[in-house]
Amino acid sequence: VLMAIRLARTIPGPEAVKRWRKQMKFSQHEAALVLGVNKKTIGNWENGRAPISRMALLAMSAVVNGLPTYDKQ
């Protein structure tokens, strides 16, 4: 949890998003599915065309830490 708070305080640059995706061995499509965004958003983050949201950063941290996904069912 502390890592998630620290990650959310410092917004990483585009290279960090791509590094996270590669570390997790996700394609852009897979990363988009996991984070609940579309593939174009992932590309925009990685190319610096759009800032990454704090919620997406928290989701990335949750994936790294192996937290279970949320299912509304």
pLDDT (tens digit per residue) in 21-32? 999 999 999 999
Query: Residue holding tokens 């917004």?
Result: 11
How many of the other CB atoms lie within 10 Å of CB of 40?
12
How many of the other CB atoms lie within 10 Å of CB of 13?
14
Q: What is the mean pLDDT of residues 3-12?
A: 60
Angstrom distance (rounded) from CA 3 to CA 6: 5
**Residue 36 in contact with residue 43, Cβ under 8 Å?**
no
Whether residue 7 is predicted with pLDDT greater than 60 in this model: the reply is no
**Residue 54 in contact with residue 4, Cβ under 8 Å?**
no
What pTM, to 2 d.p., does this model score?
0.74
